[in-house]
């Protein structure tokens, strides 16, 4: 009788198994490349989608600011026009009163000076038909002198009888510092009466509440890099810090926008920074138009693109890690199954050989349990296989007592 102890052993891989593993490896490599390509396309789509979303938000913000700027500049201009018209009407009322007194022969230098002081008039001058000064409220001005060449030219429509009243507007004072605002009224006797007032108060309003002030206020809004109002020749208004801007004729984008009333949007560079710029035409008078330009920071867009790139990169690394781990697991699983099949095949052949030996064969495992009990052993010990296989070796079998 032969007594065998079985030890685990790994059998050699068969050619068919190697072929099967090689096919699976190629399949895994192909799938990995395919998913990598899909992941790359997804990354590009994700970054593009993020850029489009934030660009849309940025453009909407720019359009809102553009509407606000249009409204603010329009309100500032209307306020200044209203104050200017009110001042012009007040001065013309004084000029009409003086003309009535002059027509009745009651206007004297003393009365002229008194009315000028009461109504806060800076200078009142009365000229005859030849343009000579006949009366004024200012001391030191020589009678008989005419207005300067500039005022004389402005007064020609009245002196020629074409107009009754004129609003001369702002001008630099001839006999002192500061700006003046003047009007003129035709004399019934021939000649003209000019009335002007100190315009510093109105100019102060323009500086503090006008378009320039509005520009400074808009510049304080976060992400607004600049605001510029320019025509085809020069910059008319600009927010603080703007030193130079490209001209409209030299920039095809601006030139196209000037000919269109719709807002135009683009990404550009300003002081080594990528900015989003929106421009739209603005009517400055019946015969001219300019461009209102607003530049916005794109830091939020850059941050969103960076976050999208990082997110896709992390997803890619996770995919690579899972792919490597899954590939390693599948290969090990296939190797284990291949070895298991080979082991069972060898075990089956060995069992078949042992079962048909003429000698009694009893095989034990490492725990002294019977694993093989062939036909000759059944006859020799008068035991059935189901009585001993998988159980401890029976003591009445002589060889079991040796263990």
Question: Tens of pLDDT along 368-398?
Answer: 788 777 777 777 777 787 877 878 876 656 6
Closest CA to 79 of 210, 167, 174, 181: 210
Apex CA 339: angle with CA 334 and CA 342, to 5°?
125
Mean pLDDT of the chain: 77
Domains and CATH numbers, the chain: 89-204 (3.30.450.20), 210-297 (3.30.450.20)
Question: Tens of pLDDT along 253-303?
Answer: 998 988 888 888 888 888 888 888 888 888 766 557 788 888 888 877 777
- H or E, element range at 46: helix 15-103
229 DSSP 8-state letter:
E
pLDDT of residue 366: 75
Q: Are 196 and 87 in contact (CB under 8 A)?
A: no
354 three-state secondary structure: helix
Task: Using alpha carbons, list the distances in angstroms from residue 192 to 40, 108, 144, 147, 162.
Answer: 83, 16, 14, 11, 12
1 compared with 260, residue with greater pLDDT: 260
* CA gap 292, 297 in Å, rounded: 17
Token reading at 259: 């000919």
* CA gap 102, 96 in Å, rounded: 10
Percent above pLDDT 70 for the chain: 79
pLDDT of residue 218: 73
Q: Are 192 and 151 in contact (CB under 8 A)?
A: no
pLDDT of residue 354: 61
Q: Are 98 and 137 in contact (CB under 8 A)?
A: no
* CA gap 267, 399 in Å, rounded: 94
| pLDDT tier at 100, thresholds 50, 70, 90 | very high
Q: Are 124 and 112 in contact (CB under 8 A)?
A: yes
Torsion-angle region of 190 (φ positive above 0: left; ψ -120 to 50: alpha; else: beta): left
* CA gap 256, 194 in Å, rounded: 46
Token reading at 100: 């009535």
Residue-wise burial string across 24-63, b where 16 or more C-beta atoms lie within 10 A, e elsewhere: eeeeeeeebeeeeeeeeeebeeebeebeeebbeebeebbe
* CA gap 218, 225 in Å, rounded: 10
Closest CA to 91 of 187, 200, 206, 193: 193
């Amino acid at each position: 009788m032969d007594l065998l102890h079985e030890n685990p052993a790994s059998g050699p891989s068969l050619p068919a198994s190697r072929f099967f593993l090689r096919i699976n490896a190629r399949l895994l490599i192909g799938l990995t490349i395919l998913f990598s390509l899909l992941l790359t396309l997804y990354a590009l789509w994700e970054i593009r989608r993020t850029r489009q979303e934030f660009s849309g938000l940025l453009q909407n913000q720019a359009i809102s600011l553009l509407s606000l700027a249009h409204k603010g500049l329009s309100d500032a201009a209307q306020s200044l026009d209203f104050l200017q018209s009110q001042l012009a009407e007040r001065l013309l009322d004084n000029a009409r009163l003086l003309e009535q007194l002059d027509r009745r022969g009651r206007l004297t230098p003393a009365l002229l000076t008194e009315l000028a002081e009461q109504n806060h008039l800076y200078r009142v001058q009365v000229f005859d038909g030849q343009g000579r000064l006949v009366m004024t409220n200012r001391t030191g001005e020589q009678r008989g002198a005419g207005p300067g060449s500039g005022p004389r030219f402005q007064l020609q429509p009245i002196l020629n009888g074409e107009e009754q009243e004129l609003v001369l507007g702002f001008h630099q004072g001839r006999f002192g510092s500061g700006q003046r605002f003047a009007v003129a009224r035709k004399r019934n006797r021939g000649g003209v009466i000019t009335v002007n007032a100190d315009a510093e108060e109105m100019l102060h309003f323009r500086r503090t509440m006008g378009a320039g002030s509005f520009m400074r206020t808009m510049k304080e809004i976060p992400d607004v890099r600049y605001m510029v109002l320019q025509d085809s020749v020069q910059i008319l208004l600009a927010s603080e810090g703007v030193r130079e801007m490209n001209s409209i004729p030299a920039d095809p984008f601006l030139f196209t926008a000037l000919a269109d009333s719709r807002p135009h949007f683009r990404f550009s560079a300003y002081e080594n920074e990528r900015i989003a710029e929106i421009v739209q035409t603005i009517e400055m008078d019946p015969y001219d138009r300019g461009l209102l330009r607003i530049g916005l920071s794109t830091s939020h867009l850059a941050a969103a693109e960076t976050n999208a790139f990082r997110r896709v990169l992390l997803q890619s690394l996770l995919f690579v890690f899972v792919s490597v781990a899954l590939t390693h697991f599948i290969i090990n699983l296939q190797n284990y199954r291949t070895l298991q099949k080979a082991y069972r095949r060898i075990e089956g052949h060995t069992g078949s050989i042992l079962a048909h030996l003429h000698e009694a064969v009893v095989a034990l495992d490492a725990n002294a349990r019977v694993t093989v009990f062939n036909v000759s052993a059944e006859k020799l010990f008068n035991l059935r296989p189901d009585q001993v296989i998988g159980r401890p070796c029976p003591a009445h079998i002589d060889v079991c007592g040796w263990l």
